[in-house]
Amino acid sequence: MREHRALNTILEPGGITPMYQPICFVSGNNAVLTGFECLSRGPKGTNFEPANVLFEYVRLKREEIVVDRACISAALANAPKGDVRLSVNVHASTLGRDRDFVDFLCDAAAKNGVATTSLTVEIVEHAPPWNSAGFADALRRLRVQSIRIALDDVGLGQSNFKMMLDVRPDYLKIDRYFVEACDHDDDRRAVIESLARLASHFGAQVVAEGVERIEVRDALQRFGLNLMQGYLFGMPLNAVDATLLTSSRGDDRASAESPLSFRAS
Amino acid sequence: MQINQVSDSAERVLIVDDEDLIVLAMRKYFEGLGYVVDAAFELEEAQALLANYEYDLVIADLRLTGIGGVEGLQIVSDVHQRCANTRIILLSAYGTPEIERESYNRGADAFLHKPKAMMEIAQIARVLLEQ
């Protein structure tokens, strides 16, 4: 019987490897590091090393709570220190079902010297439904702690208009599906411009994911978007490289909104 | 088990069984024949792989969770829904005529009763892949 053996492997110390992908504020050719999205890889040498397999398995097993917690613990324990925002991914179902999640997150942040004010919770979800009362309560408690909220994969899965109204996010993250061809695909451009207007209405900022080409970077700026993430600005980094990137600011004492400049070209 | 790098020409096989030794033996045998082999031990592990990769052939045990399980039928349905070109062989030591009929209804290409020699499974696999 192998039931739960794979899950135990995932949850063993060192089972989850955190990675950190830069999120940048882009102006013209210049990109300024504003933070990292904390990503997770499963145990090395297993089927679960790729994140897409890992999280599909987790969803099928309905083990989002325990794995979300493990990913956050690993991410914060190794997180680059400094004036950068850290985005951690959390399933909506975890927020809805895990009544102690916000306390857990705050404790994990404090234990690792991460200010809650520098945290963003990125809500991901591909499967309905969840406990909406518990979900709303968790959102309220995150706000009390000044933790920002992002809606991931907007336009896909459960990240729909209802979710936007329920969450009132600080950030809308647009999936690469819409981003990667927006420089020459009028339909994708229309979707992005529409989301940008919607974000503006909610007082939210838009983050474009999957930016890999200069033409896309320039097109996004024409659409009014400046927060970007993708291989053009940096692949997911291990903890050491993410710390080096953060600390390479040297004596620059700029705020988290403008900590590091480099040319993204 | 690790996801294997796939060459352009090698056919990709997913083996699903909860018995370590069976998986080990089948993996070695099919790799020896030139296939790229992935393996899963649970229904959900197999489903997560099927959601992310395309396989030429799936060889699955009917029973993955002990007495009474028929998880293999779910795998047949998943494969049939995701990729019509993927061939699927179901193996069982407990298969009844009803279950065998149900597996074909769901889209299985072959239902084999255990024990079955590895060489025979491989020959059936080859025939299915060349159809």
HEC string for A107-161:
HHHHHCCCCHHHEEEEEECCCCCCCHHHHHHHHHHHHHCCCEEEEEEECCCCCCH
Q: Which residue in chain A has the smallest CA separation from B64? A: A1
Domain map (residue ranges) of chain A: 5-245
The lowest-confidence range among A8-17, A244-253, B26-35 is: A244-253
Q: What is the DSSP letter of B65?
A: S
Q: Is residue B85 part of a domain?
A: no
Q: Is residue B59 part of a domain?
A: yes
pLDDT in tens, A201-252: 989 999 999 999 999 999 999 999 999 999 999 999 999 999 999 988 644 4
The lowest-confidence range among A23-27, A132-136, A189-193, A259-263 is: A259-263
Mean pLDDT of A157-182: 89
Q: Which residue in chain A has the smallest CA separation from B52? A: A53
Mean pLDDT of A151-175: 87
Residue for token digits 């940096």? A234
> Which of A5, A52, A61 is closest, CB to CB, to B44?
A61
Distance CA A130, CA B105 (A): 34
Spell out a b/e string for A37-54, using b for 16 or more CB atoms within 10 Å of the CB, else e: bbbbbbbeebbbebbebb
What would be the CATH architecture of the domain defined by A5-245?
Alpha-Beta Barrel (3.20)
pLDDT in tens, B48-66: 999 999 999 999 999 988 6
Residue A137 has pLDDT above 80, yes or no: yes
Distance CA A256, CA A260 (A): 9
More confident residue, A116 or A153: A116
Strand order in the sheet with B12-16: B36-40, B12-16, B57-61, B87-92, B110-113
> Which of A3, A45, A60 is closest, CB to CB, to B47?
A60
The lowest-confidence range among A162-166, A193-197, B52-56, B65-69 is: B65-69
- Highest mean pLDDT pick, A92-106, A130-144, A159-173: A92-106
Q: Counting one residue from A and one from B, how many pairs have CB atoms under 8 Å apart?
A: 50
pLDDT value at position B2? 54
Kindly report whether the peptide bond that precedes residue A50 is cis, defined as omega within 30 degrees of 0. no
The domain containing residue B66 runs over which residues? 10-70+95-113
Q: Is residue B87 part of a domain?
A: no
pLDDT in tens, B79-99: 988 888 999 999 998 878 999
Q: What is the mean pLDDT of chain A?
A: 90
Name the interface residues of B facing A (CB cutoff 8 Å): 1-3, 18, 20, 38, 40-45, 47-49, 51-52, 65-66
Q: Supply A162's token pair.
A: 């209802």
Which of chain A's residues have a Cβ under 8 Å away from the Cβ of B69?
none
pLDDT value at position A132? 82
| B42·A3 Cβ contact <8 A | yes
Mutate to test the interface with B, among A55, A60, A64 (most CBs of B within 10 A): A60
| B2·A47 Cβ contact <8 A | yes
| B45·A52 Cβ contact <8 A | no
Distance CA B40, CA A157 (A): 26
| B45·A50 Cβ contact <8 A | no
Residue A253 pLDDT class (50, 70, 90 cuts): very low
ipTM score assigned to the predicted complex: 0.88
Question: Mind telling me how many Å the CA of B2 is from chain A's nearest CA?
Answer: 4
Q: Where residue B66 sits, what CATH number does that domain have?
A: 3.40.50.2300
Distance of CA B130 to the CA centre of its chain: 17
Contact status, residue A182 vs residue A220, Cβ threshold 8 Å = yes
Distance CA A3, CA A8 (A): 10
Angle, vertex CA B54, rays to CA B52 and CA B56, nearest 5: 155
Q: Is residue B109 part of a domain?
A: yes
Name, in order, each residue with C-beta under 8 angstroms of B23's C-beta and a sequence gap of 6 or more. B1, B15, B17, B39, B41
Q: How many residues comprise chain B?
A: 131
Q: Is residue B45 part of a domain?
A: yes
Q: Which residue in chain A has the smallest CA separation from B53? A: A53
Percent of chain A scored above 70 by pLDDT?
89
Name, in order, each residue with C-beta under 8 angstroms of A241's C-beta and a sequence gap of 6 or more. none
Domains identified in chain B, total number: 1
| A61·B52 Cβ contact <8 A | no
Q: What share of chain A is helix, strand, coil (3-state, %, to 5)?
A: 40, 20, 35
